[in-house]
Structure 1
């Protein structure tokens, strides 16, 4: 048995244990919980098995884990798989990570497309509106798979009202696409863009979709002040 991950597993399961009800000062308790959560996330990050991939930025990872724990505690997320997309990065970079939080291992790290109206090389503008052709930030849960015009695809349910809550009605899904293949970078200098979907390389879509389907957490990050103000999950 590999004992390396036992401390992480203990921290993970303890995070969902019922909170003690005593006469502790609520302000002190809140501060203690904040410190504990930050310490827990830092421990997970520093213990990640990168699997020869680059690590996500700490700030992006911290926000992703904060929302994951919140959604997991509410029973909205069921699988201990976290997908992180960092739209502060160039589309030429591998800015999507799929992380197994039980083994604490990065399973995939790949390029991913943003919406055509969100920007060219960099995504800078985001929307929850129908027909905007823009990406939406924030937390999603993965839904069911289906076969559409891009073959095997995965539906997403946005968990943040006004930020990504129209994802399903907009048909914002995870799918493979030729324009999301890294080879296109040589011809146009940046990855092809979608109508708002996080599109991934065709060669990886089967593996990634099968791994993350069925109530796992997906987080799309950008250091946007408007998102920080609107989001309730990373406040």
Structure 2
């Protein structure tokens, strides 16, 4: 009986360190629980060996924080991978399914086969990292296109001003790799193979979350959405 009462007392204790009385343990416990949940989602979608775990974990952490999202769809672009590999993934977060995977172009001044340099500046012709919300579609000079709203100040919030949109492009077709050793590059837009651009745009338009990832400590130091506890 005494052992039962003691256990119950521990369950009722506030989320503080038993040794120091400080609440620091609380955030660590919550972060670990969230990571376990994301890891379970990662396994249930059978993403091992397909999607970068670190990129996926960050994408889901941000997705859960963005209140303005209207759809249970998450797009991850993983710029730690070369342009010759599939590195754009569309997830149905409600049905726990991977809907699409595709190659995707990066900005011409972000790098050659790998994107290694990023910018929020107009005229930089570089890709921008971070979280976006998708908006409406339109017919432009690149055909059927999707407007992106950058959510992170100083990182990607000039996306609309820079006309950074999702669109199809012949230079983003995998056949280009055989000729040049890498995918063609854009002016900063995530450009898709023409055959996949419309179905992917239709799947993600209208208020879904997009996360453009790279293994860049500078981004994490300035992100207005991700925090250290999201990365534990």
Q: TM-score range by the shorter chain?
A: 0.7 to 0.9
Structure 2: segments with no counterpart, 5+ residues: 1-12, 17-22, 228-232
Deviation at 1:151, TM superposition (A): 1.0
Instruction: Check if 1:38 corresponds to 2:44.
Output: no
Of residues 13, 20, 29, the one that matches 2:26 is: 29
Change (3 A) 1:54 1:199: farther
CA contact (8 A) 2:153 2:224 kept: no
Q: TM-score, normalised by structure 1?
A: 0.86
Counting matched residue pairs gives 209
What is the CA deviation profile of residues 62-101 of structure 1, one whole-angstrom value per residue up to 9, with x for unaligned ones? 0111111111xxx211211110000011100001000111
Query: Under a length normalisation based on structure 2, what TM-score does the superposition of the two structures give?
Result: 0.87
Per the alignment, residue 189 of structure 1 pairs with 181
C-alpha deviation, 1:32, in angstroms: 2.1
Counterparts of 1:203-214 in structure 2 under 5 Å?
203-214=195-206
Over the residues paired in the alignment, what is the CA RMSD in angstroms?
A: 1.5
Query: Any residues of structure 2 matched to 1:82-121 within 5 Å, and which?
Result: 82-121=74-113
- Other-structure match for 1:65: 60
- Give how far 1:54 is off: 5.8
Aligned with 1:132: secondary structure?
Answer: coil
2-structure distance, mates of 1:128, 1:94: 24
Which has the larger Rg?
Answer: 2
Say which SS state the counterpart of residue 144 (structure 2) adopts.
strand
Residue matched to 1:128: 120
SS of the residue corresponding to residue 176 of structure 2 reads helix
- Structure 1 stretches of 4+ moved >2 Å: 22-29
Matched residue, 1:143 = 135
Aligned match for 2:45, one of 44, 48, 51:
48
SS at match of 1:38: helix
- 1: CA distance between counterparts of 2:77 and 2:177? 19
